[in-house]
Amino acid sequence: MIGFGIMLLAVYLYWESSKRYLSVFLVFFIVTGGFQLVPTDLMVLSTIGITKTYDWALVYLILLLVVEPRIILNLTIWKDRNGIALYSGVLLFLLLYNLLFVGVEVQVAIRVFRNYIFFLLLFPFVNLPTPDFIKVFRLLTYFTTLASFLFCLQPLLGHGILAGAPELLPDEGGGLIRFYNLPYFLVPVTLALLVGKSSLNLRYHYLVLTINLVAIVLSQHRNLILSIPICYFTFLIIQNKLNLIKVTASSVAIVVAFFCINYFFEGRFFKGIVKLSESFNEVTPTIIQYANLSDISTTEFRRLHFMERLYYVQADVLKSLFGIGFLTEDSALTKQLSFNIGLLTEYGDIIQVDTSDITWSLLLVHFGLVGIAAFLYFYWSCLRICYSNKDQALFMLGVLYITNLLFISFFGIDIVSVHTITLLAFILGFYYSLKSHINQKSQPETQIQQYAS
């Protein structure tokens, strides 16, 4: 019931321009389940089909469109080269293809389809007054930092605090327990804090940054830890701030930090790099068929998981183009699959579709090559828009965040996650809000502060 009440409040606040930023913030609140601070059971309403906290964001969008349908009819957005029209068209085609040709159950197809349409939140976001975008991001920073602080306490206390804590898995070396319920906006908030302290104008900038960096380290997520310095160097290159002194100092600091992290976690970090280098062997259907999941590394598991599904769709032209289908584990069609690589259910069965390990396996199943091409074009368009306006803080963040997402897309599914798409819609909303001010030949009250140091 809490989610329902917050959603209604967000709809109410949207119609008052001075409070619209609170409405947008509440959308992020419900998308993240209250930044994982509220028990999930209190945020959903299963009796009416709201089984995920982010479903309220779609209800929010529908209610806004019922009151004011013109919100979705923003021709400036639809006609722009942002990939939205193409991506929307491909998604609708795939939905019809799955319903009429593949024979996926209606409720299953709709359930999968809805996970990919949260970019439509761009349309209500664009009506947020331009200066208020930074207000919303400040609130995201504060709440994410609170969640990061609680996340840091979890390994020390030995039990979950944030919502979504999975079964406890000890570190391979017997060290701190590893938790997987990272705050949803930990990475974008950390990147924003790391590359320019003046952008958010926070009083305790370095304390806030430290809390979020510690949370990343305690995640024990090797690829995430590695992606942060990659994004930082990307920022230096883009801003033409790369010189010998900075490169040397940064490189030394990063190497020392990696050795300290590796020592603290009893060699787990470098063991993972060694396993990564060992996984680039030829993969054949025979190797996949006889692979023993207990004998392979996590990286090798991801590779085999993707290759098995790639071999499967390659055998059929339609599956190659349009995917296997908008399937979930409870679909009747899923029972016809017999993949050997996948996590095990509590009953010992291999999970055929769902995965949190690699984005591209999921997209192969749901989208095929046509859908993946439209998806990548959407991301490329977002990156192009952000890069062409990189002097603005939120757009620079967009460049770095998309860089991070592409890097870790082989080690997780953040790039297709609802919270990620919602944040990208927010950044695009800022772009079109700013563009609208320029077209109307009226300057915003204040410019969003540029990243500077």
Beta pairing partners, 45: 50
pLDDT-derived band at 379 (thresholds 50, 70, 90) equals: very high
Tokens of 427: 């950044």
Q: State the pTM of this model.
A: 0.90
177-178 and 169-170: which strand pairing? antiparallel
Helix (H, G, I), strand (E, B) or coil at 266: coil
Can you give the pLDDT at residue 275? 54
Percent of the chain at pLDDT > 70 equals 86
Beta carbons of 425 and 119 less than 8 angstroms apart: yes
- Could you please report the per-residue DSSP string of 199-256? TTT-TTHHHHHHHHHHHHHHTT-HHHHHHHHHHHHHHHHHTT---HHHHHHHHHHHHH
Can you give the pLDDT at residue 288? 85
pLDDT-derived band at 449 (thresholds 50, 70, 90) equals: very low
Out of 18-22, 178-182, 185-189, which region has the weakest mean confidence (pLDDT)?
Answer: 178-182
pLDDT at 302 over 60: yes
pLDDT-derived band at 293 (thresholds 50, 70, 90) equals: confident
* Cβ partners under 8 Å of residue 155, min gap 6: 176, 177, 178, 179, 218
Beta carbons of 289 and 61 less than 8 angstroms apart: no
Alpha helices in 265-297 (DSSP H): 268-278, 285-289
Element containing residue 178 per DSSP (H, E): strand 177-178
Query: Directed axis angle between helix 205-218 and helix 186-195, to 10°?
Result: 130
Helix (H, G, I), strand (E, B) or coil at 31: helix
Beta carbons of 231 and 139 less than 8 angstroms apart: no
